[in-house]
Amino acid sequence: MRTNKNDSKMLNTSSLDSWLIYPKPNPDAQIRLFCFPYAGGSANIFRRWSNYLPSIIEVCAIELPGRGMRIKLPPFTQLEPLVTELASVLKSKLDKPFAFFGHSMGALVSFELALLLRKQYDLNPSHLFVSAHRAPQLVDPKPPIHNLPEAEFIAELRRLNGTPQTLLENEEMMQFFLPILRADFAVLETYVYTQQAPLNSPITAFGGLEDQEVSYDEIQAWQEQTSASFSLHMFPGDHFFLHLFYSSMLEIISQQIIV
């Protein structure tokens, strides 16, 4: 969905093909916060987050294939293989307490990853933060858009108000970004929920009061996915409220995961 003109800027990373970007590496941190971007987004979304978090929390931003330093790699088009690969990649980084944050597509990815880590490795995030996405057990009432003809797909991007106008008006750049956006929407729109036992990780959900894509009730329904505590925080703004209110969100995140 929203793309960032600074996505291609290099952040601190251990290798050119790394799934993980560390805006402020902190090996002495007590907990790792893995952050999952929205459709079309990159790890660069989270580049400032370390500045608003206590030093005991290390931000580990997920860089999906097809963006950032991994721009030449083909993006995933289905959730299951993406989550399977993520579980394999992240396992070695889960040697200390960890939490997940995901916005929009990232919320769904982080949730399914939490389920897979529980199943495969008996590992659970200390907290799951989900933002701007309906609870996974709810079916999206809107028809899929990832396979629409180009003109119609771009019209939907305009309606969603997540892609900068300057990018939409740049035909050359749009030809570059369209396959990534289509792939990310395919990840979302081909997802099929399979009922499993609720997570025993607490869940905190965030929503936008003017979000036309996800309603309050759809976010509240995340409560069904945890046997632990649940809280919901709503902010002014549309689907991309996190860009304006991330400092307030990070204050809540800090309070929830520091015990």
Q: Which residues are catalytic?
A: 104
Q: DSSP letters of 185-248? A: HHHHHT------PPBSS-EEEEEETT-SSS-HHHHHGGGGGBSS-EEEEEESSSTTTHHHHHHH
Partners of 61 in beta bridges: 21, 35
Q: How far apart are CA 107 and CA 153, in angstroms?
A: 23
Residue written as token pair 């897979």: 116
For 4, phi and psi rounded to 5 degrees?
-125, 130
Q: How many CB atoms lie within 10 A of CB 92?
A: 7
Q: How far apart are CA 111 and CA 129, in angstroms?
A: 9
SS3 77: coil
Residue written as token pair 């290798």: 15
CB-based contacts of 128, cutoff 8 Å, min separation 6? 99, 100, 110, 111, 114, 199, 201, 202, 203, 204, 226
CB-based contacts of 97, cutoff 8 Å, min separation 6? 30, 31, 32, 126
| DSSP H or E stretch at residue 130 | strand 127-131
Which one-letter DSSP state was computed for residue 148?
Answer: S
